[in-house]
Amino acid sequence: MNTRQLISHYLYMNRKSYIFAIIFIFLVNWLQVEIPRYIQLAIDLIDDASNDGHQQLQTYVAIVVGMSVAMVVVRILSRVYALNPGRIAEAALKNRLLKQLNRLPNSYHEKFASGRLISIMNNDVMGVRLMFGIGFLQFFNTMFALSLTPIWMWRISPELTMYSVIPISIAFVIFRIGFKRMKVLHTEHMNRLQSLSAQLMSYLSGIDLIKNQRMSPWVTTEIEKLNQQLLRCRMQITRIQVFFLPVLDYANDLMKILILGLGGYMLMNQELTLGEITAFLTYSVLLAMPLMQLGRIATIYQRGIVGIQSAQTILNAKIPETDQTRLADEDVEQLKGESLSVRNLSFHYPNDERLILDNISFDIPAGKKVGVLGGIGSGKTTLVNCLNHHLDVPTNAIFLGGKDITDFARSDLRRYVKTVTQDPYLFSATVEENIRFGSSNNDATKEQVDEVLSLSQLANDVARFEDGDQTLVGEKGIMLSGGQKQRLSIARALLEPADLVIMDNVLSAVDYETERKILNGLFERLKHQSVLVVSHRVNALEYMDEIIVLNEGKIIAKGDHKTLLKTCPYYLETWQLQQNEAEASAC
């Protein structure tokens, strides 16, 4: 969807409100130009001392008062119908952007920093709201004012009207130059704002490291550089707004001087009456207001267009074809009880020819508990992200029920596979609310929440909290320890488990005894589901049906715990080393 189509879409969405707004805006401007006409007639009757003259004067005054009251009511209605669509368009566009971001693959998010996307959602989309709201109002207000007011001025004096147009015409030429330059600067301003937002997000994420390593002066310098770039761009925009756009105001002042000078001369020659001169000056004021608003309209329009173009970088991003077609519910049900098979999976990251996974093959039948053991850099997390299709895996490498997972929409696959990552993300909400985020229908009972808290060995900790499971965990779970975060993420996964639950090193921050209890509760809860536990600790994998040993991206051994102790030197050495560490820590 291009820029014109996107604008048309939201104009059509709010078409009824815009139609009423246009009608009321027209009525406001019609009343504005009619009132001076009756003021002109009233002034010309001031010298008429007859009874008919006084009665006519009272009638004109009553008409002016009535029209003024009506104009107040109509003006309010015009703003209600013109400004509401801006908010509606903003909300609809934000929802659309969020939905699109949710559907885009990981490869897209790797290209754009979170801070940049947040800046688009907040700062850039605000320009869209202004364009569809106050921009629409001021555009039609200006259009009707510049259409009706000159006509009423022409009725009074065509000659005086022609002289009034000269300074305005010159001003528009200068205004056009500034308008073109403004578009370039607004685009640059939005880009610099996005860069600053992205950098701030990055620094805030690593605030502990910055403090510990005493990097604050360096961070301050880097932020100041971006701030100065943003300031220079902002100052350039301000200079144009100060020196170019106000030229219309200057033209309006010059127009008033012409009206007073030439109008006074025509009044002395009795070509115009005092009432006509007064009305003409009133019309010049009405003409000045929309002329002054042209600069603001130009700014709003530029911000809106730049905002739409920024939003299009998200909206026009390509979604893989397979992710655009969802399976029917009955087809998803048929996947239950199917095996996940990996066949000769080899994977390397873009721009890096080194194989992270090299010819991996294994099966996870329904209900089977499989473990993956490997040291740092062995490819464990990459394997997990291939199984849940977080990464763009090669075709004919991973199969679910005999079907290539690259043929499934990622959303359909994740109804079958649920992953608990080694870096749990918690929302700034209560303990219970964070657990309920794991349920698709959010209808889980309080008893079910308490049950998964108990299974994850978090119930005792929560009981000690002042507000129990209604305790706020803070942003990213800052109020909890590392082990509590991991156990809370496990409880979330257990509330509504999928057919395959993948646990990627989620027990690294708990002790061995707690780890054993969690795994026992996990297996009790997931009797009929498959489980893949990834760890670098042998103790976490002792009770698995099968353990896969990874080393430098290759499978070097498979089997249960007892078999691997006898057949795999790497496994035995790892187990012995960890046993010694456990005994040493116990002492």
SS3 sequence of 402-466: CEEHHHCCHHHHCCCEEEECCCCCCCCCEHHHHHHCCCCCCCCCHHHHHHHHHHCCCHHHHHHCC
Q: Is the pLDDT of residue 543 over 60?
A: yes
Average pLDDT for 444-473: 83
pLDDT band at 17 (very low <50, low <70, confident <90, very high): very high
Q: Which amino acid type is present at position 369?
A: K
Pairwise CA distance, residues 95 & 530, whole Å: 35
pLDDT band at 70 (very low <50, low <70, confident <90, very high): very high
Of 90 and 282, the structure prediction assigns the larger pLDDT to: 90
Could you read off the pLDDT of 71-82 as tens digits, one per residue?
Answer: 999 999 999 999
- What is the gyration radius of the CA atoms in the chain, in angstroms? 35
pTM of the model: 0.67
Q: Is the pLDDT of residue 586 over 60?
A: no
Q: What percent of the chain has pLDDT over 70?
A: 92
What's the confidence (pLDDT) of residue 64?
86
Q: How far apart are the first and last CA of the chain?
A: 67
Average pLDDT for 258-269: 76
User: What single string gives the DSSP state of each residue in 324-391?
Assistant: GSPPPHHHHHHTTTPPEEEEEEEE--TT--S-SEEEEEEEE-TT-EEEEE--TTSSHHHHHHHHTT-S
Highest mean pLDDT among 81-85, 183-187, 283-287, 515-519: 81-85
Backbone angles phi, psi at 361, to 5 degrees: -145, 130
Pairwise CA distance, residues 460 & 436, whole Å: 19
Q: Is the pLDDT of residue 508 over 80?
A: no
What's the confidence (pLDDT) of residue 18?
94
Could you read off the pLDDT of 338-382 as tens digits, one per residue?
Answer: 888 889 999 988 877 788 888 899 998 888 889 998 888 888 888
Q: What percent of the chain has pLDDT over 90?
A: 9
What's the confidence (pLDDT) of residue 72?
92
Q: Is the pLDDT of residue 538 over 90?
A: no
Average pLDDT for 121-126: 83
